[in-house]
Amino acid sequence: MRPLSKEWIAEVRAIGGISASVTVTMLAQLAISAVETFVVARLGTKVLAGVTLALNFYLLVFLVTLGVVTAVTPIAAQALGRGDEDRVRLVGQQGLWVALLVSLPNAMVLLICGCIFLDHSRSVEAHSASRSLSW
């Protein structure tokens, strides 16, 4: 077996350092989600279902926004690698504009859907209350 080169070991250490921070961040987010679930679950199954539905919808909108904005990073990195600082600055500015243009409509979608979820939950409660009274 061929011995590992110093460059290869240095690269593994660098990637390990970056991945360790990402791993810790993901574990922290998972722990926060678990605690939120335990806290909300004490309020009842309907509340837990509502929070889960809203958070899943929020996650969908957030990831779509994040996916669009994340495209700026490799473009800026490529320009930085070429030493083209003007292009890095331009890409960064355009990335901020894209983030603004994508985030505002998505924020409106979340606000509108929040109202729809609220109306739906009220109508479901009113419907179940009226059914229980009719029996």
Supply the mean pLDDT for the chain.
Answer: 81
**pTM over the 0.75 mark:** no
Mean pLDDT of 55-66: 81
How far apart are alpha carbons 8 and 6 in whole angstroms?
5
Mean pLDDT of 13-34: 87
The HSE-up count of residue 24 (CA atoms within 13 Å, CB side) is 5
Give me 118's structure tokens.
């609220």
Q: Please tell me which residue, 70 or 93, carries the higher pLDDT value.
A: 93
Query: Within its chain, how far is the Cα of 111 from the centroid?
Result: 17
Q: What are phi and psi of 4, to 5 degrees?
A: -75, 140
Query: What is the pLDDT, as a whole number, of residue 127?
Result: 47
pLDDT bin (cut points 50, 70, 90) of residue 125 is: low
Least confident of 10-14, 32-36, 69-73, 108-112: 108-112
DSSP structure class, residue 21: H
Rg (CA), the chain: 23
